Amino acid sequence: MAEAAASAAVHHEAPQGFIRKYIFSYDHKIIGIQYYLLALVAVFVGMGLSLFMRLRLAWPNAELPFGVGVMTPETYLALMTMHGTLMVFFVLTTAPQGGFGNYFLPIQIGAADMAFPFLNMLSFWVTFLALLVMLAAFFVTGGAPISGWTAYPPLSAVGEVAGPGLGTGQTLWIVSLAIFCGGALMSALNFIATTLDMRAKGMSLMRMPLTVWTWFVTAILGLLAFAVLLAGGVLLILDRTAGTSFFIPGGLVISEQILSHKGGSPLLWQHLFWFFGHPEVYIAILPGMGVTSQILSTFARKPIFGYRAMVYAILGIGFLGFFVWGHHMFISGMSPYSAIAFSVLTMAIGVPSAIKTFNWLGTLWGGSIRFTTPMLYAIGFVSLFVTGGLTGIFLGQPALDLYFHDTYFVVGHFHMIMGVAAIFGIFAATYYWFPKMFGRMMNDTMGKVHFCFTFIGVYAIFMPMHFLGMAGHPRRYPDTTSVDFLAALDPVHLFITIAAIITISAQFLFLINLLWSYFRGAKADINPWHSTTLEWTVSSPPPHDNFGGKEPIVYRGAYEYGKPDAPEDYVMQTAPD
């Protein structure tokens, strides 16, 4: 009794008022849902932008709705910039890590909350502020920036003189990213400290679910990478607003004006940006890998194949990810010797990636597979990861990249691996954990229809882009009408646009499923999927402090499925020997 009282004193009590409970909440579960909703808003905005871009590519002279009219090339570039930025930062970085990581990491390691609950709340609200600042760029004079999500200077640094959106819009863009870095750093710190110091008794590192491993390594990448982006962002802000010349070279004449800047290096930005940018790819995809491992094992009713190898592969991918940024810059005039070094290291990432893929297939092999919706999405993730990964090997060769660079091949590649694969990870996680988060099952039929449309749809959209790229189609062109050799490719653009319209429409099915299931879904019991990890030992949704003030004790690893002598075919992590 005394013990219980003492431990209660350390805790934060469940808050009562609406604002403390749901708005400025310290509870990692509420914060996780907040991150998820933020990403949901951002993903639908980002998707809407891509729809307008596709319409413009298929019908360059069409009058578009919502006051867009006949879209100017500048508007196309602005939509493209905002699409990329919203998706990379506010969807792929927030939902898998801030959303599901926040919700499930503490529960899966047996903790009552994150290590620093206040900091956790601050991270979310800082990220929210960053989103508002980013969206504000649409509504200022000149509109959103047109320099792409990578914001290469001098275009992004010289200001309004170079084009619409490069004035206030670009300043808001870079300020938003600097704010975002702040939120991401706080969040990363919290995740690492939580994983290191808050594990329950018996939860050794090698007993952690692979989801926890991926969130942990993702946080390490975030802590190291976002600090560097912040540094680059500060320099860019100074170049834009204070008149320094970190990135702006001398002798620039833009719109018949001579700029006073001199001596800066645009390549310096590229180095700083991609030193962040490549790990960012893994920040987006690693949590999806963890979720896929968790789900494949659960629904194949088999232990994950090669758990230790999986852990080392995650660490290997995270480590190598910091030494390959140069492969984004092969055509920047880099020394061929550096290019070869970057290329070899890039190829080296293929090894841990192949280990992971092999182990996923090994997990499926001979399993008694249950084709639930989350399982379908996890298998889809493996498919997309392989497709997107293989094209990465092409782009990692300097000789091939000279040709492929800045073509649709690159667009197809990174949408497959970073975009859609990570999104499939989010979908898989949503269908898998929704019952735990909201106490109701999601509709399985609707989920499967959604999966079919999405899976076939994304291949129909992004596969043809590889062929466009091989045909030499540059990316970022708003239309093909003024370029003769591209005119023959117009039918492909039309096909992609139609596929995109169908796929985007299917996403509303997901939204409807979320809402319908939240209110009308069948009640979920504690462990509907017969999973083994700690979140399935507590009620759905879990109580305020996750385990009702009692510390769970962990006796075994996370994936004990298909036990021949067990009463059921799985053993919970908390089951004593």
Partner 1 sequence: MGTTVAPQRPEATLGGGGGNIPAEGFGDSGPGGFSPGAGRSVYRTGMWLALVAVTMLFVAFTSAYIVRSGISDDWQPIAIPSILWANTVLLVLSSLTLERTRRALKRGLREAVNWWVSVTAILGVAFLAGQLLAWNQLSSQGIYLTTNPSSSFFYLLTGAHGLHLLGGVLALLYITVEAWRYRLGPGNRTVVEVTAIYWHFMDGLWIYILCLLLFWR
- Binding status of residue 118 toward partner 1 by CB under 8 A: yes
- How distant, in Å, are the alpha carbons of 303, 353, 372, 414 from that of 365? 11, 18, 17, 29
Contact criterion met (CB below 8 Å) for 143 and 75: yes
- Binding status of residue 577 toward partner 1 by CB under 8 A: no
Residue 335 corresponds to which amino acid? S
Given 64, 189, 315, 501, the residue binding partner 1 (CB under 8 A)? 189
The total of other beta-carbon atoms located within 10 Å of residue 279's CB is: 26
Quote the distance between the C-alpha of residue 61 and its chain's center. 34
Given 271, 328, 440, 493, the residue binding partner 1 (CB under 8 A)? 271
Tokens of 218: 């993702």
Task: Round to whole Å and give the CA distance between 531 and 510.
Answer: 24
Q: Which stretch binds partner 1 (CB under 8 A): 203-211, 266-274, 279-287, 562-570?
A: 266-274
Task: Round to whole Å and give the CA distance between 364 and 381.
Answer: 14
Q: Which stretch binds partner 1 (CB under 8 A): 60-68, 76-84, 144-152, 265-273?
A: 265-273
Q: Which stretch binds partner 1 (CB under 8 A): 240-248, 363-371, 507-515, 530-538?
A: 240-248
Q: Smallest distance from the beta carbon of 238 to partner 1, in angstroms?
A: 7
- The partner residues of 407 in beta bridges, in order of sequence, read 474
Q: Which stretch binds partner 1 (CB under 8 A): 1-9, 349-357, 398-406, 409-417?
A: 1-9
Given 19, 65, 197, 333, the residue binding partner 1 (CB under 8 A)? 197
Q: Give residues 513-552 in contact with partner 1 (rule: CB under 8 A).
A: 547, 549-551
Question: Which helix or strand (DSSP H or E) is residue 253 part of?
Answer: strand 253-254
Given 68, 268, 509, 575, the residue binding partner 1 (CB under 8 A)? 268
- What is the sign of the dihedral through the CA atoms of 229, 33, 506 and 384? positive
Residue 406 or 551: the one with the smaller Cβ distance to partner 1 is 551
Residue 110 or 389: the one with the smaller Cβ distance to partner 1 is 110
Residue 254 or 268: the one with the smaller Cβ distance to partner 1 is 268
- How distant, in Å, are the alpha carbons of 352, 408, 444, 472 from that of 465? 27, 5, 32, 11
- Binding status of residue 242 toward partner 1 by CB under 8 A: yes
Given 9, 67, 520, 565, the residue binding partner 1 (CB under 8 A)? 9
- Binding status of residue 112 toward partner 1 by CB under 8 A: yes
Given 114, 252, 355, 558, the residue binding partner 1 (CB under 8 A)? 114
- Binding status of residue 332 toward partner 1 by CB under 8 A: no
- Binding status of residue 309 toward partner 1 by CB under 8 A: no
Task: Round to whole Å and give the CA distance between 346 and 270.
Answer: 18
Phi, psi dihedral angles at 376 (to 5 degrees): -60, -45
- The partner residues of 440 in beta bridges, in order of sequence, read 523
Beta strands 257-258 and 253-254 are antiparallel
Angle at 103 between CA 97 and CA 106, to 5 degrees: 100
- Binding status of residue 425 toward partner 1 by CB under 8 A: no
- Binding status of residue 174 toward partner 1 by CB under 8 A: no
Q: Smallest distance from the beta carbon of 90 to partner 1, in angstroms?
A: 21
- Binding status of residue 178 toward partner 1 by CB under 8 A: no
- How distant, in Å, are the alpha carbons of 60, 142, 418, 505 from that of 69? 11, 17, 32, 22
Q: Is 368 helix (H, G, I), strand (E, B) or coil?
A: coil
Task: Round to whole Å and give the CA distance between 492 and 509.
Answer: 26
Residue 223 or 509: the one with the smaller Cβ distance to partner 1 is 223
Given 90, 226, 274, 342, the residue binding partner 1 (CB under 8 A)? 226
Task: Round to whole Å and give the CA distance between 459 and 384.
Answer: 9
Residue 19 or 242: the one with the smaller Cβ distance to partner 1 is 242
- Binding status of residue 325 toward partner 1 by CB under 8 A: no
Q: Residue 54: exposed, middle, or buried by beta-carbon count in 10 A (0-12, 13-18, 19+)?
A: buried
Phi, psi dihedral angles at 293 (to 5 degrees): -60, -50
Q: Give residues 284-303 in contact with partner 1 (rule: CB under 8 A).
A: none
Phi, psi dihedral angles at 460 (to 5 degrees): -65, -30
3-state helix vs strand vs coil in the chain, percent to 5: 65, 0, 30
Given 98, 101, 106, 145, the residue binding partner 1 (CB under 8 A)? 106
Residue 124 or 299: the one with the smaller Cβ distance to partner 1 is 124
Given 39, 78, 82, 115, the residue binding partner 1 (CB under 8 A)? 115
Phi, psi dihedral angles at 227 (to 5 degrees): -65, -35
Q: Residue 17: exposed, middle, or buried by beta-carbon count in 10 A (0-12, 13-18, 19+)?
A: exposed
Task: Round to whole Å and give the CA distance between 436 and 104.
Answer: 10
- Binding status of residue 230 toward partner 1 by CB under 8 A: yes
Task: Round to whole Å and give the CA distance between 441 and 165.
Answer: 45
Residue 186 or 379: the one with the smaller Cβ distance to partner 1 is 186
Given 272, 410, 489, 554, the residue binding partner 1 (CB under 8 A)? 272
Residue 7 or 383: the one with the smaller Cβ distance to partner 1 is 7
Q: Give residues 24-53 in contact with partner 1 (rule: CB under 8 A).
A: 26
Q: Smallest distance from the beta carbon of 149 to partner 1, in angstroms?
A: 19
- Binding status of residue 466 toward partner 1 by CB under 8 A: no
- Entry field: residues in the chain: 577
Total binding residues toward partner 1, as defined by CB under 8 A: 60
- Binding status of residue 228 toward partner 1 by CB under 8 A: yes
Q: Smallest distance from the beta carbon of 539 to partner 1, in angstroms?
A: 18
- Binding status of residue 262 toward partner 1 by CB under 8 A: yes
- Binding status of residue 10 toward partner 1 by CB under 8 A: yes
Contact criterion met (CB below 8 Å) for 204 and 86: no
Given 64, 68, 224, 501, the residue binding partner 1 (CB under 8 A)? 224
Quote the distance between the C-alpha of residue 334 and its chain's center. 29
Tokens of 359: 């182990």
The total of other beta-carbon atoms located within 10 Å of residue 272's CB is: 21
- Binding status of residue 111 toward partner 1 by CB under 8 A: yes
- Binding status of residue 223 toward partner 1 by CB under 8 A: yes
Residue 142 or 232: the one with the smaller Cβ distance to partner 1 is 232
- Binding status of residue 277 toward partner 1 by CB under 8 A: no
Contact residues for partner 1 (CB under 8 A)? 6-7, 9-12, 26, 106, 111-119, 122, 185-186, 188-190, 192-194, 196-198, 200, 223-228, 230-232, 234-235, 238, 242-246, 250, 262-265, 268, 271-272, 275, 547, 549-551
